[in-house]
Amino acid sequence: MARTIEISREFVDELRESIKENDEKKALQLLTDFHAADIAELYRDLSIEEARYLYLLLDGDRASDVLAELDEDDRNRFLDVLPGEVIAQKFIDHMDSDDAADVIGDLSEDKKQEILLHIEDLEQAGDIVDLLGYDEDTAGGLMAKEMIIVNENWTILTCLKEMANQADAVDEVYYVYVIDNNRKLKGIVSLKQMLLSNNATKVQTIIEDDIIWVNTSTPGEEVAQIMEKYDLVAIPVVDSLGRLVGRITIDDIVDFIREEAERDYQMASGLTDEVEARDKVLYITRVRLPWLLIGLVGGIFGALVLGRFEGSLKLYPEMAFFIPLIAAMGGNVGIQSSAIIVQGLANNTLKGESTLKRLSKEFLVALFNGLILATLIFVYNFFVSDSFALTLTVSVALLSVIVFAALFGTFIPLILDRVKVDPALATGPFITTMNDIIGLLIYMLIGRLLYGVFAI
Does residue 270 surpass a pLDDT of 60?
no
Identify whether 402 is part of a domain. Answer: yes
Residue ending a domain, among 234, 265, 296, is 265
Does residue 63 surpass a pLDDT of 60?
yes
Identify whether 345 is part of a domain. Answer: yes
User: How much is the pLDDT for 274?
Assistant: 63
Identify whether 270 is part of a domain. Answer: no
Q: Are residues 83 and 42 in the same domain?
A: yes
pLDDT grade, residue 182 (50/70/90)?
A: very high
Q: Are residues 257 and 311 in the same domain?
A: no
Residue span of the structural domain in which 437 resides: 281-454
CATH number, domain of 332, equals 1.10.357.20
Residue 343 to residue 349: CA distance in whole angstroms: 8
Q: Are residues 202 and 317 in the same domain?
A: no
Identify whether 273 is part of a domain. Answer: no
Structurally, the chain folds into a number of domains equal to 3
Identify whether 212 is part of a domain. Answer: yes
Residue 313 to residue 74: CA distance in whole angstroms: 55
Q: Are residues 254 and 350 in the same domain?
A: no
* Tens-digit pLDDT profile for residues 291-342: 778 778 888 888 888 888 888 778 788 888 898 898 888 888 888 888 788 7
Q: Are residues 311 and 242 in the same domain?
A: no
- 3-state DSSP of 20-82: HCCCHHHHHHHCCCECHHHHHHHHHHCCHHHHHHHHHHCCHHHHHHHHHHCCHHHHHHHHCCC
User: How much is the pLDDT for 2?
Assistant: 47
CATH number, domain of 131, equals 1.25.60.10
Helix/strand/coil for 202:
strand
Q: Are residues 157 and 35 in the same domain?
A: no
Mean pLDDT of the chain: 83
Q: Are residues 174 and 83 in the same domain?
A: no
Does residue 455 surpass a pLDDT of 70?
no
Identify whether 184 is part of a domain. Answer: yes
Does residue 201 surpass a pLDDT of 70?
yes
Residue 133 to residue 105: CA distance in whole angstroms: 10
Q: Are residues 137 and 157 in the same domain?
A: no
* Tens-digit pLDDT profile for residues 408-435: 888 888 887 777 777 766 566 777 788 8
The C-alpha torsion from 351 through 243 and 142 to 178, rounded to 10°, is: 100
Closest CA to 397 of 433, 431, 436, 446: 446
Give yes or no for a contact between 265 and 339, defined as CB atoms under 8 angstroms apart.
Answer: no
User: How much is the pLDDT for 415?
Assistant: 83
* Tens-digit pLDDT profile for residues 359-382: 888 899 999 999 999 999 999 998
User: How much is the pLDDT for 48?
Assistant: 78
Query: What own/partner pairs with CB < 8 Å and gap ≥ 24 does 3-10 have?
Result: 3/33, 3/35, 4/35, 4/37, 4/38, 5/33, 5/34, 5/35, 5/38, 7/38, 7/41, 7/42, 7/45
Q: Are residues 355 and 426 in the same domain?
A: yes
* Tens-digit pLDDT profile for residues 100-152: 888 888 788 888 888 888 888 888 888 889 998 898 889 999 998 988 899 99
Query: % helix / strand / coil in the chain, to the nearest 5?
Result: 70, 10, 25
Identify whether 288 is part of a domain. Answer: yes
Does residue 4 surpass a pLDDT of 60?
no
User: How much is the pLDDT for 456?
Assistant: 44
Identify whether 225 is part of a domain. Answer: yes
Percent of the chain past pLDDT 70, that is, above it, reads 90
Q: Are residues 162 and 118 in the same domain?
A: no
Q: Are residues 334 and 405 in the same domain?
A: yes
Residue 377 to residue 388: CA distance in whole angstroms: 12
Residue 342 to residue 428: CA distance in whole angstroms: 12
